[in-house]
Amino acid sequence: MTEAHIQAQIDQILARVHDGGRISYDDALLVYQHADLLDLAEAANARRQQLVPGDTVTYLIDRNINYTNVCVTDCQFCNFYALPGDAEKGYVNNKLILGGKIKEALELGATRILMQGGHNPDLPYDYYIDLVDWIHRTFPTIEINAFSPSEIQYMSEIGGRTWHQTLSDLKAVGLAGLPGGGGEILDDEVRKRVTPKKIMTDDWFGVMKVAHELGLITTTTMVIGFREELRNRMNHLQRLRDEQDDSLKRFGVGFNAFISWTVQIENTPLSRSRFADEYGATSTEYLRHTAVSRIFLDNIPHISASWPTQGVKVGQMALHFGCDDFGSTMIEENVVSAAGAITKASPVMLPHEIHRQIREAGFIPAQRNTNYEILRVFDTADKDADLQTIEDITQAASKQGNWAGVTLIE
Ligand code: SF4
């Protein structure tokens, strides 16, 4: 094929996107490989306008909380976990610590916690049910999003339950939704190499299908930079789009958002591999991937920019590559930070700062909940005046003396 012929095909494919049409796997692969980056951005923005019209960019105030880092799964890209018996690094946070973190998040205006942990063989099935029940009764206003599909699979195995029983039990005590973590590349060819003991592709989607059936809120993630080929990335996106079509048709609900980022490998087994230099992806590659995902995933409404791994400047640029959301305040993040993400240096971004970044990029900040319902639009800077600053929070924390005010409901 001549260059002119390829360009003509690209023009045709991107014109279809501008007209609101669906593109095929092969179309997406062609534009991924050959389209001009700015042409991709334009098409991704057109898709964003078809799905989420306007200039508003949303964000969520929430906190990532880890209940344990003990894990038996040995993912090659993880520096967060400790093996069972590692008394120095391993932990299981008790309710006082978890309650303190949630109370602090509430002080910051959080509407959600996102709670995940390792695959800890010492925690029985009832631990998870009791934990969600306790959080829900102690902090009834906070929305609980917890446990990626691999954790659901693990606790189901431990408890001898089906995924349906486990998710129903968790929902009954207050679970609102599942984060889309643990997906990395949803193509077993890649998973068997970098995360062979963790949930495989069919089961990841199987757990999420049950979550959709039960009406739980779900998001979906993707991590690139495992030395995978573009066809592996496209296999992930194709499966995701197919599963979303199926969930929407059968249950009327599906994934409400997609976010991708680049693998961080500092201090992980991958950093000691002879291919270490080949892992990861550049910011340009991240932006290209973001645009192709937006164009291809025409049935997932929201796409978030990943500032924690890319830095806020690339995060701002991602808003011009089809993203309509700036993620969350990330009051705390321990997993990708442990593997060298930019959040390690600056793990907190309070609403003031998020507003500044969104406005600088040319958009209007708006706070949302997990379901992407807008809670408040900050169309003028004077509306930021009553937001809490980090100084307010620090002062409040020191007055309360290590969160002694948390009431434990046992
Ligand atoms: S990524 Fe999760 S499942 Fe994998 S080793 Fe780390 S904590 Fe365990």
- In this predicted model, what pLDDT tens digit does every residue of 269-308 receive, in sequence order? 888 888 888 899 999 999 999 999 999 999 999 999 998 8
pLDDT of residue 404: 38
The answer to whether the CB of 338 is under 6 A from ligand 1 is no
Cα 80 to Cα 33, 114, 179, 193, 345: the distances in Å are: 34, 16, 18, 19, 16
**Which atom, in ligand 1's list, is nearest to the CA of 77?**
1
Instruction: Please count the residues of the chain.
Output: 410
Confidence of residue 13 (pLDDT cuts 50, 70, 90): very high
Could you tell me what percent of the chain has a pLDDT over 90?
Answer: 76
Alpha-carbon span 73 to 148, nearest angstrom: 14
- Return the SS3 of 92: strand
CA 65 to ligand 1 centroid distance, Å: 14
All domains of the chain in start order, with CATH = 54-400 (3.20.20.70)
The answer to whether the CB of 147 is under 6 A from ligand 1 is no
pLDDT of residue 308: 83
User: Is pLDDT of 124 > 60?
Assistant: yes
**CB burial class (10 A; 0-12, 13-18, 19+) of residue 293?**
buried
Residue range 320-325: mean pLDDT, rounded: 98
Phi then psi dihedrals of residue 94, to 5 deg: -80, 180
User: Is pLDDT of 396 > 60?
Assistant: no
Residue range 183-201: mean pLDDT, rounded: 96
The answer to whether the CB of 78 is under 6 A from ligand 1 is yes
Closest residue CA from atom 2 of ligand 1 = 118
Q: Average per-residue pLDDT in the chain?
A: 91
The answer to whether the CB of 198 is under 6 A from ligand 1 is yes
